[in-house]
Amino acid sequence: MSYVAPVKDMLFNIQHLANIEQIAKIPGFEDAGFDTAKAVLEEAAKFNGDVLAPLNFEGDKNPTSWKDGVVTATPGFKEAFKQFVEAGWQGLQHPADYGGQGLPKTIGSACCEMQNSANLSFALCPLLSDGAIEALLTAGSDELKATYLEKLVSGQWTGTMNLTEPQAGSDLAAVRTRAEPLPDGTFKIFGTKIFITWGEHDMAENIVHLVLARVQGAPAGIKGISLFVVPKFLVNKDGSLGARNDVHCVSIEHKLGIKASPTAVLQFGDHGGAMGYIVGQENRGLEYMFIMMNAARYGVGVQGIAVAERAYQKAVTFARERVQSRPVDGSASAGASIIYHPDVRRMLMTMRAYVEGCRALSSVAASAYDAAHNHPDADVRKVNQTFYEFMVPLVKGYSTEMSLEVTSLGIQVHGGMGYIEETGAAQYYRDAKILTIYEGTTAIQSNDLVGRKTLRDGGQNAKGIASQIEATEAELRKNGSANAQAVAQRLQAAREAFLDVVNFMASTSNPNAIYAGSVPYLMLAGNLMAGWQMARALLVAQQQLAAGVDAAFMQAKITTARFYADHLLTKAPGLRNSIVEGSECVTALALEAF
């Protein structure tokens, strides 16, 4: 099945929820208004639909391969990557100073969704490059920026992120990779890194590894970790490529999904030491790496939306075509397509509402990022940064967990045919599973949401966002329509459930009681924030409908927002009860009883 990018829905969010015209008033973004967004998204839709989407199923059947240290991408990927680079897609959001187009994240994130819908395995490569670029922009020396950034921004070279080791997964304090200083200020790197996405491949001239390691004599734990650039090929003073560095891929993993994306085991320093160049200051590596991780975490949330959208489109196509049984209301003769059946419609509406809610949430978060990083007013930057930081674990955690439910429903809509690999529905389910794990599991996102984003200020920021939601409820009640009234009622109940949890966590001294409910809290908060954006969308759609603008789209948006409120937001009070009233039983069972 071909992929058709949901450009109209993306532009609706960009224009009405993310307020692109306000972003275009920020210095540097003057040419990035709605017309630019429309032109860029339409071009992105063509490229992703025509070039990347047809390779997705092929990548699942014929994964990237490894032989004698050489990794060869799925047939067609190298040629597609060349087109990707030549069209300038890698540099879309990066500074013009280094050859990028300098467009806001509000536009760029929609293009990233298209890439990931079209071909998740392929899109992981530029995603990791984006993270490397962000880290070097923030902490790299002038020399490192001059050497690497232009080639990374163009896509001529790609980037990776090297954190995990066999004994150090989420616990980065256990990192053992070591860095030995040399008299000229460079370092020799020794160690093993695992789970390195696109850590070796044949699609680009060079691969720029960003590697966490310990300088000899550094403090123990996370306080002694530094960040290094370790290129696959050393770079000569004139910018040309030199000798092969002492970093080699010793194997790639055999995975449940994202099979065309090579997940490499990299060995540094087997032949005398890999040359490394420190990023920023010694012992601040984790701080810099989190710049990459936060960029990647938002990006992984967008991946969840993307794979869910692809699964939804496939399920709708199948439901229209699959003939099975007579509708229960007799509205069609025997042998009608299954889209007539109420339960199939329920599944399709659930998929649609989840995707549209999370897409709206990601778009609003991207807008806050743009204001936080570029607005001339320091107070505006601060408010938006706080809002964006609260949203990142929700975009990552809620959208990826959502993608599992949606891709599973996609298989269910197909029935037995969905369980057969040849139909392609199962690939989305398998691909989606990793999204709840890499770049920090859902539990790690929830720990961040609880500890850093909620409890650090006693819940004040969370309550401030809740007050904005309450203002939307008031707008809904003033609207007067039956749909607006119903959504206001559901939104209020979800908001009050959210506040009950925030107050419970802020007033509880038992950490086990708090963190027993951390993932349910993330799911409640993500559900509420996405539902809030759908409520805002309903208000806009009713105004547009009254003005005679695109009646079919606006009516569908109103219906989807109402479905979200009645079928998804209604989960919030139940989550509240499990967190506030059910924490003790989570840890009550004796360990030996398991």
Q: Supply the residues annotated as catalytic.
A: 439
Q: Are 571 and 354 in contact (CB under 8 A)?
A: no
* 3 state DSSP class of 244: strand
- Note whether 13 and 360 are within 8 A (CB): yes
Q: Label each residue of 171-217 as H, E or C.
A: CHHHCCCEEEECCCCCEEEEEEEEEEECCCCCCCCEEEEEEEEEECC
Distances (CA, A) of 302 to 4, 296, 348, 361, 431: 17, 10, 20, 10, 14
Q: Name which of 270, 411, 391 is nearest 347 in CA terms.
A: 411
Determine how many CB atoms are found less than 10 A away from the CB of residue 80: 20
Query: Is residue 191 within 8 Å of residue 213, measured between CB atoms?
Result: yes
What are 540's two structure tokens? 């806009």
Nearest to 18 by CA among 420, 388, 442: 388
CA distance 420 to 422: 6
**Residue recorded with tokens 């490894």:** 66
Among candidate residues 593, 575, 558, the one with its CA nearest the CA of residue 519: 575
Nearest Cα to Cα of residue 585 among 522, 512, 531:
512
Alpha-carbon distance of 288 to 565, in angstroms, equals 40
Nearest to 136 by CA among 229, 71, 241: 229
Q: Kindly list the distances between the CA atom of residue 391 and the CA atoms of 166, 261, 306, 444, 537, in Å, as whole numbers in the listed order.
A: 31, 28, 18, 14, 18
Dihedral (CA of 417, 421, 422, 423) sign: positive
